[in-house]
Structure 1
Amino acid sequence: MPHEHDSTQSVLRALLYVGVFMLLGGGVFARYIGLEVARAQRWRLWYLVSGGFLLALGATLYGVYHLTWMLGDTSLLLSYLLETSQGHWLLLRMGLLLGLLLLSLGWFRLDRWLYPPLALGLLFTLTLTSHAAGGGLVQMLAGLLHLASGAVWGGSVLALAVAWPGSRYDAILRAIQRLSALGLGAVVLLSLMGLYLSWVRLGEVANLWSTAYGQRLLLKLGLVGLVVGLAAVNRLWLLPRLQEKRAKGLQTVSLEAALLLGVILASGFLATTEPPPPASQAAPRLINIAEVQGSRRYVGQLFSQGGLIHLYLDLRDAEGSLLEGGPSLRLQAQQGTQILQEARGPFYRSQYHLAFIAEAPGEWVVRLELPEKTLEYILSVAP
């Protein structure tokens, strides 16, 4: 059922976000914000950047493995990467991760000019595998700006929290001044894009507390409020004290970085939570199945999740107990001229799991062929 896989996908998405923010935060900080600090603390920043690369790459690879495991055949991993559009985007993401890591080694003289397009490309691959991909060009652009402003500002705060111990006072002051100026614009853009995306995905205010998506959004907003409040304290209280040489450390910046990690993790969990469907949406994303045939009952769920179509089905007797075995069932999914189909017996006693990779989002006609009859459903598939 959907909830059985939500936790793994949510954790992987959260770790992917943390890794990307670490990688980009270290890169942006070293090039544009804290150049002097970065030279003095290059090993600390290298640990941050390389750790972010490994975390993002590992989350991406394990995500593909987990997806093929849900399909029932992990040998499909290479085929998924090479033969599907989503796999192509994931390959591009891994290539961009490697390119950004190599730029961080300082081998290229033009890295200050190469870095921004590569970083935007990486963030674009995240946008294409998020809710924004199903909302059209405007939502995709808003999602990209939301991610970019968060990665530049939030990632730079993470880098500063890692690099400040042992750095020269004047170098830290210049870095704080640049980051403070950058943060003001980033927070405004982050807030505007976040409000727009929340509005189009929630549909109505009541969904804030009545749906899982709204509740996770409230948690994220609460953490964002704490981070913005602490950032204001650092700008209005810490920066003047640094300028007057009355501050001995950046403990409040470290606290801000810790809260930002909470925001990033919450964003990862939110990205894998289905928004409430629009009131006008005719096709559901989850269909409960309860079909009685004589003394036997087929019960389960047909649902879409992360670009996949899943069927979980149990064959039970009149008392509700699993039978010792069951017949082979055929599942077919069709959108336009594209037809996916598979016939499979139970994987355990009389329990079935069939799944397809849906190449395109939208409405799919799904037919389930039982021994006595064929059931037909319309299922909405999101990216």
Structure 2
Amino acid sequence: MTQLPSPDQIRRAPKVLLHDHLDGGLRPATVVELAEEHGYPGLPTTDVDELAAWFTAGAARKDLVLYLETFQHTVGVMQTRDALVRVARECAEDLAADGVVYAEVRFAPELHIEQGLSLDEVVDAVLEGFRAGSQGRGITIGTLVTAMRTAANSREIAELAVRHRDQGVVGFDIAGKEAGYPPSRHLDAFQYVQRENFHITIHAGEAFGLPSIWEALQWCNAERLGHGVRIVDDITLDPEGGATLGRLAAFVRDRRIPLEMCPTSNVHTGVCDTVAEHPIGLLKDLKFRVTVNTDNRLMSDVTLTDELARLVDAFGYGWDDLQWLTINAMKSAFWPFEKRLRIINEVIKPGYAALAGG
């Protein structure tokens, strides 16, 4: 019997991450230190281990809106230039230590201006931190600038993203409470990004269903779907295990629209009860363009190694499956085409071949 990849082996494998929130991935010790340094009073505890447990327990309440409440404290300590540089630098260091060779990390600049930073200063600080943390560590980071779908600043944030496209920003996103805030509310921002020949990914089909996915694709021209897990609502299974795809699901699969899937986070927000029940297994079997992501490493107490190891446990995935998922992600990145090919051919394929052969 072929031995399945172990967590230690997976950690050494070259991995690609497309959906990771900067304010959802802080080190617990950093949250405590920044709160003390900047006089932030709101933490429930200053014990590092207790705080880490509090974040995970708070996020795992089976509801996206409740899940998002935990971010008030991480955002609360990310209001100065030095704090933003530090958090971004540590993010790059942590991802590199986990074997991630390419990552797209997203954040919402409008949440970090409470102490007087301009939107451009916020983006500059984060980009500086990513550059410092990536240097010499074998990781490339592209930044995704996110607008909050519950606010009315999306056009301004879209312009901000485009303004920094040559400094490391690779695309534009909207995030936040999904129900009641459809992507089409921000149509002007998306049309601006399209006119600028820039990239779009949209949180859609996480806590709300097919209409959100349809609007993201057909109104707003999303190139990728953040989560997109509810596309399974357009797939009918027969008693023999056969699958019939509805028109939207067929469109997503036929067009090879990438799904930025985050299994552990989806368990915490109530999409399913266990990773083994997550639709990623079905969607991979049906050959959707599935990618695997962390979403919020602090809140879900997870690394990309953990996510892949849980899929190995749940679905018996071997090295070929993990490489397929990784190449899916690299193909779907917003990095320039020739650089994507280089990472696939010179980093990912040799890396997996060496591990599978060993």
TM-score bracket, shorter-length normalisation: under 0.3
Bigger radius of gyration, 1 or 2? 1
TM-score in terms of structure 1 length: 0.24
Instruction: Report which structure shows greater RCO (CA 8 Å, sep ≥6).
Output: 2
TM-score (norm 2): 0.26
